[in-house]
Amino acid sequence: MAGFLPVTPEEVRALGRDVPDFVYVSGDAYVDHPSFGPAIITRVLEDAGFVVAMLPQPDYKSCDEFKKFGRPRLGFLVSAGNIDSMVAHYTVSKKKRNNDYYSPGGKAGYRPDRAVIVYCNRIREAYGDVPIIIGGLEASLRRFAHYDYWDDRVRRSVLVDSRADLLEYGMGEATTLRVAELLDKGVPIKKIHDVRGTVYLTSRGDKLHYPAAMGYDDGGEPVGFDYDRLKTDKKAYAEAFAVQYRNNDAVTGRAIVEYYDGKMLVQNPPMAPLETEALDRVYALPYMRTYHPMYEKDGGIPAISEVRFSITHNRGCFGECNFCALTFHQGRSVRARSIESVVEEARLITKMPDFKGYIHDVGGPTANFRHPACKKQLTKGVCTNRRCLTPEPCPNLDADHSEYVELLDRVAALPGVKKVFIRSGIRYDYMLADKNDRFFRKLVTEHTSGQLKVAPEHCTSHVLACMGKPDIKVYDRFRKKFFEISREAGLEQFLVPYLMSSHPGSRLEDAVELAVYMKKIGLNPEQVQDFYPTPGTASTVMYYTGIDPLTGKDVFCPTDYHEKQLQRALLQYYKRENAPLVREALKKCHREDLIGYKDACLVRPEGGAGAPRRQDGRSRRGGSDKKAIAPKGIPEHRIIKESDLKKPHKFSRNKSGKKISRGKK
């Protein structure tokens, strides 16, 4: 069917129906693009013959708007949108954000905090026992008892708090379709207990449809964790997360239970990932690839700008960064679309009226993954006791970029395509594990737009271990080769490394070491990221419990606000406003040797004057703290602002005040 899905009762009636089969309630504005989860789920249902009405960002202050389409024939589907509503609303310092890229005009305030819970309560108020199925990232990552950073406590499963009937976790196409088919056959929602990829509540002692992950006691009841214990016992909480994490694979995963008074929450094993043929069908559905025209008057939806000319070619990630929720949501087993499917989507993009010849990205969770880490994962599942890439790449790792190279070549060869970029994150350790460097060279010379984003995150070994990242020596090998290839090709290109402060395991001394490392390689990042404890990550468990859930070892966690300020300031030691904090941190760590005027120093003495070194090695006169001391020579790394790219010349003024050019940047 061409066009957007119905957003009014009149549009539903135009389809020959008095009421829709499902009403999809979303915390995001309605964008019909395959980068948006709600678009995929609703198109899959439409393709199966169901009528789905969209209710994006309804007025949640009453239940009136939830009655807009009448009582749906089969039920409500509820999602907070593409990201957790609390992350969408608050910064890491718990301050309200001023914008929301998934809302009209980028304005905040169109959805409530804890959107899934609020929406479900309004639906219950409107229709009582109508079936409610929750899904999306917010529901998926909060499916168990979870530490909530904003409340600073362990909250109950969102299924309990929302009073929904069923929770779908992970990538939900197959799960949603199966639940819809059962409802269509007349199976009551309260009886749907045997669908993979779902979580449900039942009476304590009820029989499970799948074996429990933790075995059975003598009474035949599955052994699980009780919420009353999880909310107070940090060791038990870490142990529970480890069980959940190790049962998140469709091949090896077993059912998991949690107890809430007389109720038992049951997570069925994950649904199997979609294989290539099924993925191709999903991405071939008739997406409009933009936001609904009803938002035009408000300035549109900013989030579409990042993905309008981008293509997702894979799912899943075996990188396993501990601070990333991908492992808990999409899983570690990678699947990819066929080359033909991706080329066909690229061909559609080239026919869009505002296409300028540039494919912005052919990527995914990790751009350079095209297949499972090893063939064993297809039949025996992912390993529960080791990682694919860290601390060293597994001997069984299949590091091969040949298919990805072919994919990129095929897309680049399409008529109308001038350039294909890769802007999703890449795993440089996986690149280096490939004995053939063809992709490395191709990435640097053909698919980098002057700067390449990578994520070393830190430099000290024990912090990187807590992050699940490779040793900094691996990054050093990567950056050395990146610049070698760039120079050979006559290209002036830069790396844009992501760095994180205050991650579990990071002491103040580690932040100092990171600052020293940055100074050594000439890295002056204009943006750094504080660790943000979000649901569903191993790092968040470390932050709350002080325990690494995957090893059981104690972990130092910087939770004091002032110490976090010090760590963040060290990552931007060169900013004059950070100088007092940098000096304080260095004194606390007994690193006064880094306060002074030598090239190795990070900051001047308080009130000091003199001639610190500029980036080019020449002296600069001025008062204290005007500019942090920078290394001699041109730095290998620097952040390029978008404004830099728009201003090709630097200017100075002569004695008469007239601008004179100092050459191109």
What confidence tens digit (pLDDT) does each residue in 123-179 have?
Answer: 999 999 999 999 999 999 999 999 999 999 999 999 999 999 999 999 999 999 999
What confidence tens digit (pLDDT) does each residue in 248-264 have?
Answer: 999 999 999 999 999 99
Mean pLDDT over 228-251 rounds to: 96
Residue 486: pLDDT band (50, 70, 90) is very high
Between CA 155 and CA 137 the distance in angstroms is 16
Domain residue ranges of the chain, discontinuous segments joined by +: 9-195, 198-270
Between CA 578 and CA 156 the distance in angstroms is 40
Whether residue 580 is predicted with pLDDT greater than 90 in this model: the reply is yes
What confidence tens digit (pLDDT) does each residue in 427-471 have?
Answer: 999 999 999 999 999 999 999 988 898 999 999 999 999 999 999
Residue 217: pLDDT band (50, 70, 90) is low
Whether residue 663 is predicted with pLDDT greater than 70 in this model: the reply is no
Mean pLDDT over 111-121 rounds to: 97
Q: State the pLDDT at residue 218.
A: 55
Q: Which residues contact 353 (CB under 8 A, 6 or more apart)?
A: none
Q: What is the percent of the chain where pLDDT is above 70?
A: 90
Mean pLDDT over 517-537 rounds to: 91
Whether residue 2 is predicted with pLDDT greater than 80 in this model: the reply is no
Residue 212: pLDDT band (50, 70, 90) is confident
- Going by the DSSP 8-state scheme, the letter that residue 313 receives in this structure is -
Q: In degrees, to the nearest 5, what angle opens at C-alpha 11 toward C-alphas 172 and 13?
A: 100
Q: State the pLDDT at residue 219.
A: 58
Q: Which two tokens stand for residue 503?
A: 């991650």
With beta carbons less than 8 A apart as the criterion, state whether 316 and 271 touch: no
Lowest-confidence range among 47-61, 410-424, 622-636?
622-636
Whether residue 506 is predicted with pLDDT greater than 70 in this model: the reply is yes
Neighbour order of strands in the sheet with 225-226 = 52-56, 22-26, 75-79, 132-135, 166-168, 198-203, 263-267, 256-260, 225-226
What confidence tens digit (pLDDT) does each residue in 585-644 have?
Answer: 999 999 999 999 999 999 999 886 533 444 444 333 333 333 333 333 334 443 333 333
Mean pLDDT over 341-366 rounds to: 96
Q: Which two tokens stand for residue 351?
A: 């026919």
Q: State the pLDDT at residue 220.
A: 65
Residue 167 forms beta bridges with which residues?
A: 134, 199
- Report DSSP letters for 369-386, one per residue: --S-SSTHHHHH-S-SS-
Residue 50: pLDDT band (50, 70, 90) is very high
Between CA 35 and CA 256 the distance in angstroms is 30
Residue 419: pLDDT band (50, 70, 90) is very high
Q: Which residues contact 169 (CB under 8 A, 6 or more apart)?
A: 135, 139, 140, 143, 197, 198, 199, 267, 270, 329
Between CA 263 and CA 174 the distance in angstroms is 27
Q: State the pLDDT at residue 645.
A: 33
Q: What Å distances lie between residue 379 and 251, 272, 374, 575, CA to CA?
A: 7, 12, 10, 53
In the predicted model, what is the mean pLDDT of the chain? 90
Q: State the pLDDT at residue 629.
A: 34
**CATH class as words, domain 9-195:** alpha beta
Q: In degrees, to the nearest 5, what angle opens at C-alpha 368 toward C-alphas 366 and 372?
A: 80
Whether residue 45 is predicted with pLDDT greater than 70 in this model: the reply is yes
User: Which H or E run includes 661?
Assistant: strand 659-664
> How many Cβ atoms from other residues are within 10 Å of residue 412's Cβ?
17
Between CA 226 and CA 214 the distance in angstroms is 13
Between CA 567 and CA 572 the distance in angstroms is 9
Residue 223: pLDDT band (50, 70, 90) is confident
Mean pLDDT over 111-127 rounds to: 97
